[in-house]
Structure 1
C-alpha cells in the first residue's frame, strides 16, 4: 500500500531562480524560463530540475507554497513543461488555490486569525517612525492581497539596532518581520505557510510530508514536515552559519544558486526511495 506523500516547496530562490543566481556560471544551454514579466523572462529552472519536478509531480502531491501575491504567482508557468498540480499556496499562506479556485473556507480561517494581531495600519505607522529614504526605497511599501506588508530596502544601510527593537515589538503584537533579498516583509502570525500546508495535509489525508524553503517565513513549514531541505543560500543558511538558529532537523544542500534547486529535488526523490513509499 502506498503512503500519501506531499511535497510543499517555496518557489523563489528554492525551486525557481532569477538570472543573478547563475549569471557567472556556464549554464545558459541548460536554463529554461518559467516566468515572463514586463516583456522579459525573469525566473528560471535548469532542464534537470524541470525533469525532476515533472516526474515527482506524478508520484506525490506537489504544492507550490510562496510569499508571492496571487497576481505575482500567476506569472509562473509550469504547465508548458508538463508540470501540473492540484493545490497552490500564495500570499505567504493567506490564500489556497484548489484546482485554480480559491478555497473560501481557508480564507475565512485566516481572516478570523488576523483579529488577534495588531491592525496593519497601526503596525505600518510604527514602522514609518524608523523608516528612512537612506535604507527604504522612497515610494516603496504596500499591502499584499490585504494580508501583509512589504517594501524594498538597502540591506547594508539598515539601522540594525532600531530594526531589531521594532522586530521584537512587532512580535509582541503577533507580527513577524523577515528580510529576503531586497524585500522586507511584515506578516501577521495567522498568515503563514505552515498553517496552510497543515490544512491541505489534513484535507487530503497525507501520511508523510516533505518541505523545502530558504527563509524565516518557511521555517515553521520546514520544522513540521517529516523531511525538510533548504538551499545553501538565503536567510536560513545565513542564520545557520551565524549559529543564530537551531536547524538540526533541516538538511542543507551542498550547492548554492540555481544548482541547489536540483539538489533539493534529488533529496526529495532520494527520501522517497529510502522507504517513504511502502
Structure 2
C-alpha cells in the first residue's frame, strides 16, 4: 500500500451482484463467481471489476463493509482472485474482523453503546403492536448476530402512518429504522458502518476516506467520505429522487451516482476509485 487512503465499500448491489440482479441480456457465465451457497454460484463480479479491485487493494486499504452477518460474509470469496482484505466490517458495523478474528477493541465499544439505547426485546415488543402477517412475512424476522433486527415485508401493504409513529418512538430509544426493498431493519444507533470505519481510520492513521454504497444504511458513511460513490439503481438513488418512508428527500450532496446501473456500476465505481488514488 502506498497512500494514506481507506476505501470502504458495501458489497451487495454495490460491488457484487446476485444472478437475479443480472439483466437477462447479460449472461451470468460472462461474470466470475465470488460467492457460493450449497455448491451453487450466487454472487458475481465482472472480470474487469475484479482486476480493478485487486489493483486498489494493492495500493490502499480496502475494507468490505456490509450489513451481512459474519457467517454470510464468510461466503464471499475475494481471496480466489488475489484480493485479501485485512479488515472487514460486518453486521452493519457491529463487528470488525481483522485477519479472521474479531477486533476486541471495537467489540468493547459496541458493548458499551448498549448502555444508551433500549433493549431489543423492548423495541420488538412495541414493533409487534403494529406488525401484522398482512405485511410482515411469517417467520421472516431475524435477530442478526445479536446486534440488529430485520424482517421481510410487503411494501404495498405497510401501514405507513403507524410505521412513521413507531419510527419516531424508536428514534427516542436510540434505534433507527431503515426500509430497503422488501427488508425492514431496526438497528441500534451505535451500530453503524460509519462508526466502525472511523475507528479503523484512527487505528490505522489513514486520513482520507473513499466510500461506496447503495442503501440508506450506507448514507452516513458516504456523507463522511472525502469521495463517495453510489450506483444509480439503489435505494439511496431512488430515495434521493422521490423520498422514502418519510416524505422528504434525503441529502446526497457530495455523492457521485454512476451513469451505469446493475453489475456494470461496480466497474464504474472502481474506475473512479482508481482515478482518485492515482491523483
The TM-score by the shorter chain falls in which range? over 0.9
Matching residue of 1:254: 259
Work out the number of aligned pairs and report it.
273
Aligned mates of 1:214, 1:48 — CA distance in 2: 20
Post-superposition CA distance 1:242-275 (Å, at most 9, x none): 16011111110011111111111111112123x3
Question: 1:23 Cα shift?
Answer: 3.2
Moved more, 183-192 or 239-248: 239-248
**Matches of 2:142 and 2:26, distance apart in 1:** 37
- Pairwise CA distance, 1:29: 4.1
Q: Does the CA-based 8 Å contact 2:3-2:59 persist in structure 1?
A: no
Aligned-partner Cα distance in 2 for 1:12–1:112: 29
Calculate the TM-score normalised by the size of structure 2: 0.94
Structure 1 stretch displaced more, 25-34 or 188-197: 25-34
Task: Please show how residues 99-178 of structure 1 align to structure 2 within 5 Å.
Answer: 99-178=99-178
Say whether the 8 Å CA contact 1:209–1:225 is kept in structure 2.
Answer: yes
Q: Give 1:180 shift.
A: 2.2
Distance (Å, rounded) in 2 between the aligned partners of 1:164 and 1:106: 32
Residue 219 of structure 1 aligns with which residue?
219
Q: TM-score, normalised by structure 1?
A: 0.95
Once superposed, which parts of structure 1, at least 4 consecutive aligned residues long, lie more than 4 Å away? none
Deviation of 1:31 (Å): 0.9
Cα separation, 2, equivalents of 1:93 and 1:240:
23
Distance 1:198 1:99 in 2: 19
Contact 2:3 2:60 (C-alpha < 8 Å) held by counterparts? no
Tell me the secondary structure at the aligned position of residue 67 of structure 1.
coil
Structure 2 unmatched runs, 5+: 244-248
Q: In 2, distance between residues paired with 1:28 and 1:235?
A: 23
Q: Give 1:171-250 correspondences, 5 Å limit.
A: 171-242=171-242, 244-250=249-255
- Where do 1:47-86 residues align within 5 Å? 47-86=47-86
Which runs of 5 or more residues in structure 1 are unaligned?
none
